[in-house]
Structures are given as C-alpha cells and as structure tokens.
Structure 1
Amino acid sequence: MRPTPARILRRRVTQLDTAADPAAGPDADADVLLRHFTSVMPLWTEPEMAALAGGPAVVDPSEADAAVEDCLLLRHLAREEPGIVLGPLERTRQHWIGTGPHELAPSRESVPRRERFRAPRDAPLPPSTKPFHVGLYTSTARHGGTGMWRMYLDQGSSLHPRPWYTWELPVTDPTAEVLEIGDATAWAAFVERYPLVHDGSVFPDWRAVAQDYAGVHMTLRAIAATQGFRVRVGGGVAAAPPYWDVESVLWLRWVFGGVRLVGVVGEDGRG
C-alpha cells in the first residue's frame, strides 16, 4: 500500500528533524540547520515523489501545513531567522550569486546588471512554478554569513562551476511590494489568485503577478510544505508541484540600488 501524501510529508519532516536536537533549545546552530535543510530538500525530486506516491501526490493545503507545524528544525530556525522561515523578507540582506559559464549557459553573467534584467512581460514564458531565464533570484543572507543559495552551491553542482561571485542587492525601491508565501495555504491562494491552466494543472501566471508585485518570497515553511506536492486550489483542481529547494525571492522588477560585491570563491575553492 502506498503512503498517503500526509505520511510522505511527515517522513520529510522526520528527515529535517534529524539535525534538530530537541534538547538544544534556542542554542541550536542556525547554520547547521540551514545547511541540513539545504541538503535534504533537493532530494525530493519529481521522480522521487512519483515513486513514493505511485503517481502525482495531491495534498490539501491545510493538511500540509498541519504536518509541517510539528517540524522542530523550522521551530528552532524561526527563533533566530524568522524572515527566512516565515517572512517577512529582510530587504537589506539579499544576496545574488553569479557563477562561471557552463555549456548549457555559455553567456552566463557573473555581475547583476539592470540592463540584462528580463521582466516577465519581455519574454514568452512556458508554464512553470519556478520560471528560469526571467527575473532574478536572491536568497537572504544570515547575519554576517551566507545565504542558502551559497549553501546549495557548497554541496557541489556541475551546473554552476566556479568562480562564484556573491553580490549584495539591497532593495531600495520603496514602492517594491513583495508577496510573502509563508505556507501551503498561502501558496494555494497565490496560484488560485493568478491561475494559468495548462495540461490539467494550474500554474502561477507570472506576467499577471508582475503587474501587482515586485517579487515573490518563498519561505522555508512554504517549501517544506509544498515541494513536490500538487496542492489543491479552488474548483477541485490542483496546482502543479513546485521545486524551490531553498528560501528565495523571485524578483519580477529591478528594485535594487548600491549593488556590492561581498565575496568571491575562486576555481581553487578559496575565497
């Protein structure tokens, strides 16, 4: 018998909590917990989810949120980094990382440039819960440390060769409104508000989103509750499964000022 989506989610919570010692209390090492989250979530791929569920795993958003509510790792992290776990976004601590060119992206830029920024209205967009080749993604840096995107790169990825250039992108546009996705219920409401129906699933219509928001912030709690799951939205249909892996903001407009290089890791790993 296949496990129910709720059981699959609780299995995920158990994996996350292997790094969260209940006895550690508020002294739990946030860097250790963030890196553990970063190592666990990318393992929940589409083939892995399909194998566990025997096909698409459809979950009710309230059921997903109830399962994640018991996650000790997220509770520990929320004490020290509430913006990363729950929101709202820390606008002065946004990092973007430029990596070396790859055969699949030979023209990859290592510097964030306004003139290279592509808004959703400027390019055709295939249906996606996390679009690429449009907008710009940042993650929130820990106080005096790195963001989760850098933690992801530290695990090793042939798609993102060194050198790595970490840039601080403070959000200076006072009119830049960010939509916070804090849990599965918020994700379902977001997709239902901006629906793009394709092949029996509902995706966010990013062009419509860009008319109302400068960015969309996907928190750790939302990722833990939704990654790989088709979440039910209104009308009895389900949203396509998202795969965000780590806390991120998708910026749909250029809202930054004072872009500053804060770190370089060379091809030899030093930096």
Structure 2
Amino acid sequence: MWFVEDSMGWERAVTRHVTISAGAKVYEIAGPQAWAELCRRFPLEVTAQNGEDWRLTTGRSGRWVIPDWTRVAGDYAGLHLTAAGYLAAAGTVVDVDADTASVIAGWAPDETYWLTDAALVNGEVQTWVRDTNSRHPVWAEQPQ
C-alpha cells in the first residue's frame, strides 16, 4: 500500500481474499521487453489520448500504443506487473517497434489486473488505515 502510484492521498484501503481459477493464464510483466511484446501482440493506438502527456513526461514524440485489454482477455485472465518490472520500466519510454512506443502508467509494483472472472473474491473484508499520528506513518488493520 506504500507504493500506490497516484494515490491522491488515500488514507484507507480495503482488501479481500481472492481465489484464482485453476488453469487461469496470467501474463507476467517482469520488464520493458514483456510490456513491449504485449503491445506488439495486442496494439491499441492512444496517441490522440495520451501522446501529449507522455511526450511531456518522457520527451519522446511519435506514435503511442497500449495493450488492447479486450483482446488481451482472449488469451490471458490477468496481467501481473512484478516489482522488478515496475522499477525497470514504469513511467519510461518502452520501445515497441521502430516508430511506436508505450509507457507503463497507472500501475503499482507487484500489482495484478484481472481481465476475466478468473479471480473469485471471497472471505471477509479487511480495512487498513494509515496512521499519520506516529513519527513514521504506518498502515494498520482497522478492527471490524
């Protein structure tokens, strides 16, 4: 919970146990090469939507793509961005081909996005709150 990108100052988080269906395929994003491969296989052009922001952020002008999540869901139930993958590539230019690039944006390290119903939510809700009264703010489970 310390590593949420663009958290907007959130002070609470809610967690639940998730069971993954047997045989669910998860695409592992362990670095920029895995992200680029996903973008090559399932390209969705986002130059008009994100191009200017990404140009200002990265200094690169040109064509931008992200994975087309609808098409990705046909092959994978989920995508997991490893902590190493996040540290190696988040917020930087990922070259997809000679004139196309992408950015891993809006993800947190070690985060999984589920594209299908392979992740079954069950169990009790756990609420976590950020205790900002101590010298070093910590996350603690809030009693139910």
TM-score scaled to structure 2, two decimals?
0.67
Give SS of 1:169's match.
Answer: strand
Give the match for residue 32 of structure 2.
184
1:31-42 matches, within 5 Å, as: none
2:113 is the alignment partner of 1:250: yes
Q: CA deviation at 1:203?
A: 1.2
TM-score scaled to structure 1, two decimals?
0.38
Structure 2 residue corresponding to 1:169, chosen from 18, 29, 32: 18
Amino acid at match of 2:108: D
Query: Gaps (5+ residues) in structure 1?
Result: 1-149
* Greater relative contact order (CA < 8 Å, ≥ 6 in sequence): 2
Take 2:120 and 2:65, find their aligned partners in 1: how far apart are those partners?
35
Amino acid at match of 1:223: Y
2:2 is the alignment partner of 1:151: yes
Higher strand content, 1 or 2: 2
Aligned residues: 117
Give the match for residue 227 of structure 1.
90
Take 1:229 and 1:222, find their aligned partners in 2: how far apart are those partners?
12
Q: CA deviation at 1:182?
A: 1.2
Cα distance 1:178–1:263, how it changes in 2: closer, same or farther (>3 A)?
same
Does the CA-based 8 Å contact 1:226-1:242 persist in structure 2?
Answer: no
Amino acid at match of 1:254: D
Identity %: 29
Does the CA-based 8 Å contact 1:165-1:261 persist in structure 2?
Answer: no
For the aligned residue pairs, the C-alpha RMSD in angstroms reads 2.6
2:133 is the alignment partner of 1:259: no
Take 2:129 and 2:92, find their aligned partners in 1: how far apart are those partners?
37
Higher helix content, 1 or 2: 1
2:43 is the alignment partner of 1:195: yes
